[in-house]
Amino acid sequence: MAKAALITGITGQDGYHLAEFLHGKGYEVYGIIRGQHNPKRARVEQEQPFVKLLEADITDTSSLIRAIETARPDEFYNLAAISHVGYSFKVPQLVADVTGKGVLNALEAIRLTGGEKTIRFYQASTSEMFGGLDYNRPGKGYDETALFHPRSPYGVAKLYGHWITKNYRESYGMHASCGILFNHEGERRGLEFVTRKISNAVARIHLGKQDHIELGNLDAKRDWGYAGDYVVGMWLMLQQDQPDDYVLATGETHTIGEFLDLAFKEVGINDWKPYVKQNPAFMRPAEVDILLGNPAKAEAKLGWRRKVDFPGMVKLMVQHDIGLESATSLD
Ligand code: NAP
Ligand code: G4F
């Protein structure tokens, strides 16, 4: 019989890639969609008609219970979050409820439906929990043993989600694993994140639809991988006999300036400086200056390997956005 998976955050970047991947593996895929009229519903229904959408909200445990009773999942992937770090400074209490306590709601819904011994649980933890302070591991990068020091309401909420997942594993014997994922991007990335904001602006500049882009801090460094590679790691975690926590990362770190270099070169522009303006509105009250992950454990124990490299990912994103922007009229 086909396995069933229930995904929260189905309308997000990772929800899209994970649904594709699990469908390809023969899973019955259920996705939780929130809101009384979610504008992303039509996109999922059109592009991924195999996904069975269930209306629920991560802040409403009763709705999660009903979703579990309908889907009877073997695997529960908790990807739901308010995931934008900058925005989390604007709505910190909402972020605590959704990104933090939402994880507890999901775990409790599993227990209350009697699924703690049968449903395998994935929690979307993040490199933002490390925060980039005490960056004293030259050449090694953050691994599963590194100290946490979150630098945003988002990072703090995620750390709660991380520890409550570990706590439910230890307290109730749940097969609950946390993927500590470093930044992963791609053609499905939201336009509010820096990589997609750049790839989309570069495409529009190339097509004469825009003349510049406004950004915040250009010096921050991130360990950027491709989202399609990272959802494979999520699945691998839930196929192990024992639950555990794993870092997924590339082991390379690049500045936003380096991303700009490659993206603009993709459309034949060698000097991006005339096209980029700095705008303090995009600066954050506290910044994570550098993130570099060490995926050695995931590589050794899960056999996980990322396939798309940094230049390949930038190219893929810019070319995708040129296609997208060419297909829409001048605005
Ligand atoms: P994303 O594109 O921002 O998607 C977030 C998803 O959460 C959306 O489907 C959103 O639904 C849903 N959501 C928000 N509030 C909700 C609520 N109250 N109830 C139910 N669903 C809700 O994020 P992503 O990039 O796919 O990331 C997936 C997960 O991995 C997130 O938890 C993120 O924090 C974490 N993560 C991401 C990265 C990364 O680099 N992408 C790295 C580490 C960890 P709507 O569309 O309706 O808003
Ligand atoms: O693209 P970002 O918003 O991603 P950030 O903050 O690293 O968070 C992403 O990755 C985390 C994993 O480490 C996830 F947990 C999280 O959910 C999310 O997916 O910003 C990247 C860097 C930051 O240093 C930011 O200050 O880019 C800098 N930046 C500069 N100008 C900008 C901008 N970020 C955004 N979003 N918009 C700008 O205009």
CATH 3.40.50.720 range(s) for the chain read 4-184+224-248
Question: Residues of the chain with pLDDT > 70: what percent?
Answer: 97
In terms of Cβ atoms closer than 10 Å to its own Cβ (0-12, 13-18, 19+), residue 151 is buried
Q: What is the pLDDT of residues 140-169, one digit of tens each?
A: 899 999 999 999 999 999 999 999 999 999
pTM recorded for the entire structure: 0.98
For residue 122, indicate whether it is catalytic: no
**What is the CATH number assigned to the segment(s) 191-222+253-291+309-330?**
3.90.25.10
Quick: pLDDT tens for 12-28. Answer: 999 999 999 999 999 99
Nearest CA to ligand 1 atom 46: 11
Instruction: For residue 118, indicate whether it is catalytic.
Output: no
Report d(CA 79, CA 63) in Å as an integer: 16
Question: Cβ-count burial of 219 within 10 angstroms (0-12 exposed, 13-18 middle, 19+ buried)?
Answer: exposed
Backbone Cα Rg of the chain? 20
C-alpha closest to that of 118 among 236, 4, 233: 4
What atom in ligand 2 is closest to the CA of residue 216?
Answer: 31
Amino acid at residue number 169? R
CATH 3.90.25.10 residue ranges in the chain?
191-222+253-291+309-330
Q: Is the CB of 128 under 6 A from ligand 2?
A: yes
DSSP state for residue 89 in the 8-state scheme: T
Catalytic residue among 28, 75, 116, 128: 128
Q: Which fold has domain 4-184+224-248?
A: Rossmann fold (3.40.50)
Query: What percent of the chain stands above pLDDT 90?
Result: 95
User: For position 1, what pLDDT does the model report?
Assistant: 86
Dump pLDDT digits (tens) for 113-126.
999 999 999 999 99
Q: What is the mean pLDDT of the chain?
A: 96
Question: Does residue 275 have an active-site annotation?
Answer: no
The alpha carbon of 29 and the centre of ligand 1 are apart by a number of angstroms equal to 17
Report the range of poorest mean pLDDT among 11-15, 70-74, 143-147, 319-323.
Answer: 143-147
Minimum-distance ligand 2 atom for the alpha carbon of 218? 30
